[in-house]
Structure 1
Amino acid sequence: MQISAIYANLCCTNIQRSARWFETLFNRDPDRKPMPGLLEGRHRNGCGFQLYEDAEGAGDGTVQLIVKDVRSEHERLRGIGPGQVELGGDRMVLRLRDPDGNLVMLTEERGA
């Protein structure tokens, strides 16, 4: 199998409400709305994110995003409820919960 891209996917109960939250998280609007109830954002190096309206699957997901500076993201995201920056080993982690309770982890690899 030759993979050209990979997308993380989280489910939500209300696409409009969750879209606003993720627009704040990613600091941008989605790139595409390929079908009703689905939003996509394309990122660098073949990575992407999908938000799908599906009440049954909402709240059970986890996505980890590797960022360059967790502390600056913590400051920028104060309005959407970030936890405290956690230090552990060779990384710093910031945990957030989207409106449905899905876990979003921002991770900075220290010394990388």
Structure 2
Amino acid sequence: MALTVDHVLAVVAVSEVETSAAWYERLFGVEPTNIPMPGILVEWRVTGNGWVQVTEDRERFGSSQLNLAVDDLDEKLREIEARGIIVGDIIEANKGVRLCSLYDPDGNVVTLIGGFRERY
């Protein structure tokens, strides 16, 4: 029998949660959905059952990678840039997929994906 999963929680390790939470708030354009552990963990619900958790972890910070598929890459990048986040170059990947990587204050990579689909 297959494992049934109710929610997916992607965790990003940061050196200082308050600084990083401010950056992710600009990225997502909204305040955190939940702050279950003030000063340690904040989270955003980014899809129906998908969450991004930003947690203070001084041993692992800066090595996280977060991929976020968006409906209109160019539009989302314009919005994010208008909120003061530096966006990278768009890379034409494969089969119509386009990628753009951003870096949080600790150097964690957040890649926005345009043209994502479940089957190729």
TM-score w.r.t. the length of structure 1 is 0.92
Map of 1:26-45 to 2, 5 A cutoff?
A: 26-36=28-38, 37-45=40-48
Q: How far apart are 1:94 and its partner, in Å?
A: 0.8
Which position in structure 1 is the counterpart of 2:114? Answer: 108
TM-score, normalised relative to structure 2: 0.86
Deviation of 1:111 after TM superposition, in Å, equals: 8.2
**2:8 — aligned with what?**
6
Alignment of 1:14-33 (within 5 A): 14-33=16-35
Moved over 2 A (4+): none
Counterpart residue type for residue 58 of structure 1 = F
Unaligned runs of 5+ in 2: none
RMSD: 1.6
Number of residue pairs aligned between Structure 1 and Structure 2: 112
CA distance in 2, matches of 1:20, 1:110: 27
Instruction: State the identity %.
Output: 29
Partner of 1:51: 54
Quote the offset at 1:74 in angstroms.
1.7
* Corresponding letter in the other structure for 2:92: L
Asked if structure 1 preserves the Cα contact closer than 8 Å seen for 2:97 and 2:115, the reply is yes
Assess if the C-alpha contact under 8 Å between 2:69 and 2:116 holds in 1: no
Structure 1 residue ranges without an equivalent (≥5): none
- 1:92 partnered with 2:98: yes
Aligned-partner SS, 1:4: coil
* Aligned AA (1:6): V
